[in-house]
């Protein structure tokens, strides 16, 4: 997640240099082509190319809308994980603790910590970056057990359910508390599956790809047209138009995959850490981990 509202020229350049170069190259080429070969033959009416620009602006707008919605949906899912994690810790701690029974209390505390393993392993699997952080909240047997399965966070939820059933069977919790706690596990499972859905569903590539093709169509046509009236000035102005369209399109594309490990993605590290802090403070344990620090001089947080 970017934190700063004003980007330096250097940051803009590092974000766009590739498309800048391609645009300048393309516009220069078109200018030369038009000046030395086409000029006499083709003089496209201005309004015609204007339609193309307007139409493409729509299609970019469409892509951006859907991309933003995916990004915001992803953020909401992890917001729900924060809420449900707090409710899980709170409810387990108070509803499932038979007074004066240390064995049960240990089980319950372990279930609360195991939820942190669920959160951090889900983060790891969404980002596809190898990371064993989640193992710190599990026993050796549990680590061995979950690593045999293809979906680690799901395996952890299965354990939570198994232990909840134990608590119910042994009478530590009654049916009413069982319902409340089970519904939280179902909600964890829903959020996990929703995250995976966004992660695994490719935004229809035909939209993205053809929109890019159309922008290049427009850049060519527009430069062609401007060459006839303003000569070599068509190159910087052609770049400018291309810049506006391509950068807006790129903005959308970076939001399309909100769980990627990149500065514009959802700050999963930060959110997962918040959950850890809230949980460990609830239990009154030490040490409480520090919040995730922004990177690159406060530019973004992961």
- Closer by beta carbon to a second copy, 196 or else 260: 196
> Judged by CB under 8 A, which of 105, 216, 217, 294 binds a second copy?
217
Residues in 167-186 at the binding interface with a second copy, rule: CB under 8 A: 174-180, 182-183, 185-186
216 forms part of the interface with a second copy (CB under 8 A)? no
CA dihedral angle for residue 164, residue 170, residue 174, residue 175, rounded to 10 degrees: 60
1 forms part of the interface with a second copy (CB under 8 A)? yes
192 forms part of the interface with a second copy (CB under 8 A)? yes
Q: What is the 3-state secondary structure (H, E, C) of 164-177?
A: HHHHHHCCCCCHHH
Among 18-26, 61-69, 114-122, 128-136, which window interacts with a second copy (CB under 8 A)? 61-69
251 forms part of the interface with a second copy (CB under 8 A)? yes
Instruction: Write phi, then psi, for 300 (nearest 5 degrees).
Output: -150, 165
Cβ proximity of 2 and 264 under 8 Å: yes
40 forms part of the interface with a second copy (CB under 8 A)? no
222 forms part of the interface with a second copy (CB under 8 A)? yes
Among 17-25, 107-115, 118-126, 202-210, which window interacts with a second copy (CB under 8 A)? 202-210
Least separation in angstroms between residue 37's CB and a second copy is 13
Please report, for residues 4, 28, 34, 289, the alpha-carbon distance to residue 44 in angstroms, rounded to integers and kept in the order given. Answer: 43, 18, 12, 64
Cβ proximity of 70 and 256 under 8 Å: yes
> Judged by CB under 8 A, which of 132, 209, 261, 298 binds a second copy?
209
296 forms part of the interface with a second copy (CB under 8 A)? no
- Closer by beta carbon to a second copy, 25 or else 204: 204
> Judged by CB under 8 A, which of 205, 287, 289, 297 binds a second copy?
205
- In angstroms, the CA 156 to CA 82 distance is 17
**Binding-residue total with a second copy (CB under 8 A):** 113
Instruction: Enumerate the β-bridge partners of residue 300.
Output: 2, 295
- In angstroms, the CA 125 to CA 61 distance is 31
Least separation in angstroms between residue 141's CB and a second copy is 15
Interface map 2-21 toward a second copy (x if CB under 8 A):
xxxxxx-------x------
Instruction: Enumerate the β-bridge partners of residue 2.
Output: 300
37 forms part of the interface with a second copy (CB under 8 A)? no
- Closer by beta carbon to a second copy, 5 or else 129: 5
Sequential DSSP letters for 157-211: HHHHHHHHHHHHHTTSS-HHHHHHHHHHHHHHHHHHHHHHHHHHS---HHHHHHH
Which distant-in-sequence residues (6+ apart) come within 8 Å of 7 by Cβ?
Answer: 15
Among 18-26, 105-113, 134-142, 219-227, which window interacts with a second copy (CB under 8 A)? 219-227
- Closer by beta carbon to a second copy, 49 or else 124: 49
87 forms part of the interface with a second copy (CB under 8 A)? yes
- In angstroms, the CA 196 to CA 265 distance is 15
162 forms part of the interface with a second copy (CB under 8 A)? yes
């Amino acid at each position: 997640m970017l934190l700063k509202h004003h980007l330096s020229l250097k940051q803009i350049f590092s974000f766009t240099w590739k498309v800048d170069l391609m645009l300048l190259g393309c516009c220069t080429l078109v200018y030369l082509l038009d000046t030395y070969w086409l000029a006499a033959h083709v003089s496209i009416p201005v309004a015609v190319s204007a339609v193309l620009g307007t139409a493409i602006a729509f299609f970019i707008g469409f892509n951006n809308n859907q991309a933003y919605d995916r990004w915001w949906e992803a953020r909401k899912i992890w917001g729900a994980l924060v809420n449900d994690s707090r409710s899980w810790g709170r409810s387990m701690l108070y509803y499932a603790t038979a007074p004066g029974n240390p064995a049960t209390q240990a089980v319950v505390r372990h279930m609360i910590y195991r939820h942190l393993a669920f959160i951090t392993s889900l983060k790891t699997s969404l980002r596809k970056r190898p990371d064993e952080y989640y193992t710190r909240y599990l026993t050796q047997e549990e680590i061995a057990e979950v690593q045999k399965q293809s979906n680690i966070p799901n395996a952890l939820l299965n354990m939570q359910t198994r232990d909840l059933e134990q608590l119910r069977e042994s009478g530590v919790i009654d049916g009413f508390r069982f319902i409340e706690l089970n519904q939280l596990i179902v909600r964890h499972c829903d959020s996990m599956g929703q995250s995976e859905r966004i992660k695994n569903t490719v935004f229809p590539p035909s939209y993205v790809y053809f929109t890019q093709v159309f922008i290049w169509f427009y850049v060519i046509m527009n430069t062609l047209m401007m060459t006839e009236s303003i000569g070599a000035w068509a190159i910087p102005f052609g770049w400018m138009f291309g810049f506006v369209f391509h950068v807006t399109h790129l903005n959308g594309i970076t939001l399309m995959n909100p769980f990627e490990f990149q500065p514009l993605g959802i700050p999963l590290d930060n959110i997962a850490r918040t959950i850890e802090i809230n949980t460990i403070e609830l239990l009154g344990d030490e040490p409480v981990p520090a919040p995730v620090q922004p990177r690159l001089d406060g530019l973004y947080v992961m």
